[in-house]
Structure formats: C-alpha cells, structure tokens
Amino acid sequence: MLKKILTITIVLCVTLAGSYTLMAWGQPLNKSVLRLHVIANSDSPGDQALKLEVKDRIVAHMGNEFTGVESAEEARSIAISKQEEIKALAESVAAARGYNYPVAVYVGEFDFPTKSYGNVVFPQGRYEAVRVVLGAGEGKNWWCVLFPPLCMVSSSDQGLSLNSPAEAQVSLKCLELIPRGMRVKLSGN
C-alpha cells in the first residue's frame, strides 16, 4: 500500500513539475538551461575516450564555477568569461594524452535533437550551450546539461530513476530545478 501511495505521489509531482514554470525561472526550457556539447575528433576509440575525459574535466570545473548561480543567463555569462579557460583545460587533457589537434570552444545557441538523460527528456530545439570541438570534430558527440547541473545524472548508466523510494527522495528534490517543457519518463516496475 505504501508503495502505491509513493508511486502516485511521485507521478503527481512529476506531472505538476512538468506542467508549470517555476517562479525562479519563468522561461521556456530552452532558455532555462545551459547545455554542454563535446564533439570528438573522430570515432576512433582513443578520440572517443578523450572526448569523455574532456567532458569530465569541464563538468567538474564548471560545476565549481556555477556554485550559487541561479539562472541560465548568469551561467551563460560565466561560461563566456571562462571560454579561454575551458579551451585551455580541453587542450591540456588532449596534450596529456598525446593529442596535438586544435580545440575550439563556442558559447551560443545551437540546435539539439530530442535527448533523454535517464528518465528526463529534453525536446528538440535551439538551446544555449558550451560547444567544445576536438580536432576535426567529425566524431560522435556527447551532450549534457551544465546548468542546472544534470551532467552528473546523464553520466551514469541508469540516469534519473524513480524506481525505488531512496532514489525517489533524491529525484524529488531535483524536481525543484525542472523548468517547463522538460518531460520525465517513468519506467514501469
């Protein structure tokens, strides 16, 4: 019985969170987040591993920079001011792994396909993003959300899950950050 009540409560919270704009943001989803897009030089295993290592370093670095940030606009301003720092960070990771191709970092508005981060779905559209292109930029790419910090969600294999009460408690706290337009998929038991 308790499991059914918890499930109903979770479904209700997720539905309401997806239906209403939080007062703090009051903007559509694509204007309420700052995404990260890292594009590998090629699809070779080495280039793909480098892409993931660069992503991890940027997420860790920018996570520290975004401490206390309350809006995507503020996050974007910080990302613009840290653009050269992000580039130097990516270049240092590449150089440490023996790669010497160029790195380009852009902060702007880019087209993204529909993307699912675990149970959280971002619809197709134009989003503000930090785009990091490694070398020729012809390899598979990697996306996440830098602000609010959902990169940690998408870097796990399971992503956001509402299948157990312990996970649900953490996830429900995260729902406070969900802006209008983001959908959350619930998986069945």
pLDDT tens for 98-112 read 999 999 999 999 998
Confidence of residue 77 (pLDDT cuts 50, 70, 90): very high
Give the pairing of strands 125-134 and 103-112: antiparallel
Percent of the chain with pLDDT over 90: 41
| 17 has pLDDT over 60 | no
Confidence of residue 1 (pLDDT cuts 50, 70, 90): low
The reported pLDDT for the residue numbered 163 is: 36
Q: What distance in Å separates the CA atoms of residue 142 and residue 8, rounded to the nearest whole number?
A: 34
What is the SS3 assignment for 22-89? CCCCCCCHHHCCEEEEEECCCCCHHHHHHHHHHHHHHHHHHHHHCCCCCCHHHHHHHHHHCHHHHHHH
Can you give the length of the chain in residues?
189
pLDDT digits (tens, 9 = 90+) for 60-74: 888 888 888 889 999
pLDDT digits (tens, 9 = 90+) for 112-135: 888 876 677 888 999 999 999 999
Q: What distance in Å separates the CA atoms of residue 148 and residue 74, rounded to the nearest whole number?
A: 11
Confidence of residue 182 (pLDDT cuts 50, 70, 90): low
What tokens appear for 119 in the block? 């149970």
> Of all helices (H) and strands (E), which one includes residue 126?
strand 125-134
The reported pLDDT for the residue numbered 18 is: 44
Q: 3-state DSSP call for residue 110? A: strand
| 146 has pLDDT over 70 | yes
List beta partners, residue 110: 127
Confidence of residue 165 (pLDDT cuts 50, 70, 90): very low
Mean pLDDT, the chain, integer: 75
